[in-house]
Amino acid sequence: MYGLYPDTEQWRINTAFLILFAVVAVSFFVSEKLKKYFILFLVFVFPFLGIKLISGGSFGLEYVESAAWGGLSLTFIISAFAILFCFPIGVILALGRRSSLPAIKYISIGFIELWRGVPLITVLFMSAVMFPMFLPDGTFIDKLIRVLIAITLFEAAYMAEVVRGGLQALPKGQYEAAKSLGMGYWRMNALIILPQALKLVIPGIANTLLALVKDTPLIFVVGLMELAGMIGLAKTNPKWLGMAMEGYVFAGLVFWIICYAMSRYSQNLEKKLSTER
Amino acid sequence: MGKIIELKKVNKWFDKFQVLKDIDLEVAPQEKIVICGPSGSGKSTLIRCINRLEEHQEGNIIVDGTELAENTKNIEKIRAEVGMVFQQFNLFPHLSILDNCTLAPIWVKKLPKKEAEEVAMKNLTRVQIDDQALKFPGQLSGGQQQRAAIARALCMEPKIMLFDEPTSALDPEMIKEVLDVMVDLAKGGMTMIVVTHEMGFAKEVADYMIFMDEGKIVERAKTKEFFENPKSDRTKLFLSQIL
Ligand SMILES: Nc1ncnc2c1ncn2[C@@H]1O[C@H](COP(=O)(O)OP(=O)(O)OP(=O)(O)O)[C@@H](O)[C@H]1O
Ligand SMILES: [Mg+2]
């Protein structure tokens, strides 16, 4: 559950997740207007609050280095961060790829094709092992953060292509109608194009995000142990000897529950947003 | 009278293919102009140049005193005061009819939401679909959708309205309801440029007729003269086919 996180400090992870669940649960019951603030809090405040709480180092909390984080909580942390950040980056890349400005267009294409063309494992190794060598002496970026950034950018490239599919499916008339009403590039995309394009590709987005969650076990190659990795470790512990089978079945089940929940959510979203056609 | 639209020696190419050839055109405020001509003659391209959905390569286009050129800010300002109605309606399918009408006034003209809704309801009433305001475009008939699209354009309180074959995608029984709205608009004093083959409508409202062929304005004449006494043979042939 908590990996190698010190036993005495586990309440901090518990608190972080309790806050998360409490906020999400409450947000289901409040009015639409308040919901906006809850979502803003979840997206902009909570990630930093949660990380602070778990990593410590201030407010009298003992510092726990990220190498000691692990287990299911790490699965959640990585998935949540990557999902949160890969989505907007992916949207921006998708728009960039269709930009009429050649510089932006080719940078976007280059970025997307670069990240799409490399296996995730290679990316992880690069971020964990090779990247620090290029940093000037004395600078240090936490391994977990490097890995998070790597996963986020990797998934953002896939997200960009999914979103681009949606953009391409929209008839030209939608762009022309928006322009003819005096909307500039950003308003047109934010109000007319993206709402329709994203709705069209909800299944594709869900697919990408599910793949992301299921890719998190790969981080074991750089020594970070999320749920599945932790079980690999636990089975060598004499206390758990002979339980490997149960452990992996458990891990599989947990992943299945997470992914099934996400898939149901995307289906509901699709239903809720379908207005016409 | 001053001119609200002026085109001087406008030339436009799609790659090597020249779509518009030396187009000169002047429109005074409140004038109604109907453009007709065979398919592919450049009618759509011409009116799309007026709100710069297409860019011209040579000549000048001046709309309400502003020359259309590279400067984006001007172009958005011009587009906000030039309404356009498309053959395919192009309503925003993810928004209700009311939201279709209030979106641009709120986000482009910065109108408060309540005021924008009042303006929208006024225009929806004018095109007689105020009872459909909360429906989505997909739930409306073609004629209702096109009237909604007209209302949406009117909500920006434009000085000029451009129509590109607004009734060509409609079943015959719905054409009249849309034309009625356009006649009403014309009588209200709107400056209008209409591409259409509805010659009954043209005879009723147009001040001038323009006949285009192969990217050129072949004939420009007062409506009565155009129908009774066309000068060019090309126009005569076209009229004999269409009437
Ligand atoms: N984006 C484009 N790229 C290349 N050629 C184009 C483009 N748009 C139009 N054309 C060509 O320009 C010519 C004029 O097109 P336009 O749509 O203005 O004609 P039109 O008079 O409106 O015809 P219709 O009555 O069929 O609508 C046509 O030959 C068309 O094939
Ligand atoms: Mg046309």
Dump the DSSP string for A70-135. Answer: EHHHHHHHHHHHHHHHHHHHHHHHHHHHT-SSHHHHHHHHHHHHHHHTS-HHHHHHIIIIIHHHHS
Per-residue pLDDT for A5 more than 60? no
Q: Please tell me if the CB atom of residue B14 comes closer than 6 angstroms to any atom of ligand 1.
A: yes
Give the separation between CA B34 and CA B11, rounded to whole angstroms.
Answer: 20
Cα of B43 from ligand 2 centre, angstroms = 6
pLDDT tens track, chain B, 243 positions: 688 999 999 999 999 999 999 999 999 999 999 999 999 999 999 999 999 999 999 999 999 988 888 776 788 889 999 999 999 999 999 999 999 999 999 999 999 999 999 999 999 999 999 999 999 999 999 999 999 999 999 999 999 999 999 999 999 889 999 999 999 999 999 999 999 999 999 999 999 999 999 999 999 999 999 999 999 999 999 998 887
How does pLDDT run across B104-159, given as a tens digit for each residue?
999 999 999 999 999 999 999 999 999 999 999 999 999 999 999 999 999 999 99
Q: Please tell me if the CB atom of residue B42 comes closer than 6 angstroms to any atom of ligand 1.
A: yes
SS3 call for B57: coil
**If you average pLDDT over each of A18-32, A122-136, A159-173, which comes out highest?**
A159-173
How many helices (DSSP H) and strands (DSSP E) are in chain B? 9, 10
Give the separation between CA B117 and CA B97, rounded to whole angstroms.
Answer: 11
Per-residue pLDDT for A277 more than 50? no
Q: Please tell me if the CB atom of residue B41 comes closer than 6 angstroms to any atom of ligand 1.
A: yes
Joined together, the tokens standing for residue A23 give 């906020």
What's the pLDDT at A15?
67
Which of chain A's residues have a Cβ under 8 Å away from the Cβ of B66?
none
Q: Does ipTM top 0.95?
A: no
A219 vs A54 pLDDT, higher one: A219
Q: How far apart are the first and last CA of chain B?
A: 33
Of A174, A177, A191, the CB nearest to B107: A191
Give the separation between CA B215 and CA B11, rounded to whole angstroms.
Answer: 9
Task: Flag if B152 and A181 touch (Cβ within 8 Å).
Answer: yes
Hey, how many other C-beta atoms are within 10 angstroms of the C-beta on B9?
Answer: 12
Looking at residue A190, what DSSP letter applies? Answer: I
Chain B closest CA to A213's CA: distance in Å?
Answer: 30
Of A182, A195, A273, the CB nearest to B76: A182
Hey, how many other C-beta atoms are within 10 angstroms of the C-beta on A96?
Answer: 20
Cα of B37 from ligand 2 centre, angstroms = 10
Per-residue pLDDT for A166 more than 60? yes
Q: Which residue, B233, B221, B178, is CA-closest to B200?
A: B178
Chain A closest CA to B53's CA: distance in Å?
Answer: 7
The residue with tokens 């947000």 is: A27
Can you give the pTM of this predicted structure? 0.84
